[in-house]
């Protein structure tokens, strides 16, 4: 059995090492928070065999936060944060198309479209000139979650509001959904949808 004094010294050294590691860890990471404004929106563009359509969720009724964690010496940014959009809020500016889309997306059973932000390939410069970056998100729709790489365009206006525009093509079948058909299949909706969302944000001091 070790004498009490050497045991005390060992414990003191161990605590000192833990303190140094924790201190270095804090110095190696930098965290920034952006608050999402309620005037953010999402748009889905698609087509049928006879025309094109655009459906949108014109406003975001919550105030959520995205947290960016930058590790010094590594360009990739860890990103955490979620947005939940009401599927029932989709408006295609055509009552038949609106009802068909909500029904196809199982809005009653799965009322939320969930986007979970995971990472960025670099931290944006935040200038008035838009910067192109990429990131990874999980999209949950109709009870199915898929991971996608998203293209972003990021800028900051003269009012210090950050604009994050995300673009990604997805398919109905990615989420085990069957594209809508009308009149015995005479009108057929294409599988591919182009999703675009515009998040307006402010840096949280």
Instruction: Give the fold, CATH level 3, of 28-203.
Output: Lipocalin (2.40.128)
Q: Where are the domains of the chain?
A: 28-203
Span 106-165, pLDDT tens digits = 999 999 999 999 999 988 889 999 999 999 999 999 999 999 999 999 999 999 999 999
Specify the 3-state DSSP secondary structure of 46.
Answer: strand
Span 173-204, pLDDT tens digits = 999 999 988 756 678 899 999 999 999 999 98
CA gap 48, 53 in Å, rounded: 8
Mark residue 124 as left, alpha or beta (left: phi above 0; alpha: psi -120 to 50; beta: remaining).
beta
> pTM of the predicted model, to two decimals?
0.81
CA gap 187, 43 in Å, rounded: 22
Span 2-25, pLDDT tens digits = 455 565 555 555 555 454 444 444
Span 33-85, pLDDT tens digits = 999 987 899 999 999 888 899 999 988 877 789 999 987 777 778 999 999 99
């Amino acid at each position: 059995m070790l004498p009490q004094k050497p045991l005390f010294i060992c414990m003191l050294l161990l605590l000192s090492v833990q303190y140094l590691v924790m201190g270095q860890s804090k110095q190696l990471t930098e965290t920034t928070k952006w608050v999402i404004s309620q005037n953010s929106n999402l748009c889905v563009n698609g087509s049928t065999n006879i025309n094109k359509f655009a459906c949108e969720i014109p406003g975001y009724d919550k105030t959520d936060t995205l947290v960016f964690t930058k590790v010094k010496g590594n360009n990739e940014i860890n990103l955490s944060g979620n947005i939940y959009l009401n599927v029932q809020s989709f408006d295609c500016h055509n009552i038949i198309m609106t009802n068909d889309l909500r029904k196809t997306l199982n809005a009653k059973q799965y009322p939320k479209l969930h986007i979970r932000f995971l990472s960025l390939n670099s931290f944006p410069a935040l200038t008035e000139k838009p910067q192109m970056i990429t990131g990874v998100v999980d999209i949950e729709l109709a009870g199915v979650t898929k991971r996608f790489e998203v293209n972003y365009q990021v800028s900051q206006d003269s009012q210090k509001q950050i604009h994050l525009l995300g673009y990604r093509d997805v398919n109905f079948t990615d989420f085990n959904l069957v594209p809508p058909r009308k009149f015995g299949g005479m009108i057929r909706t294409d599988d591919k949808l182009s999703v675009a969302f515009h998040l307006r944000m402010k840096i949280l001091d």
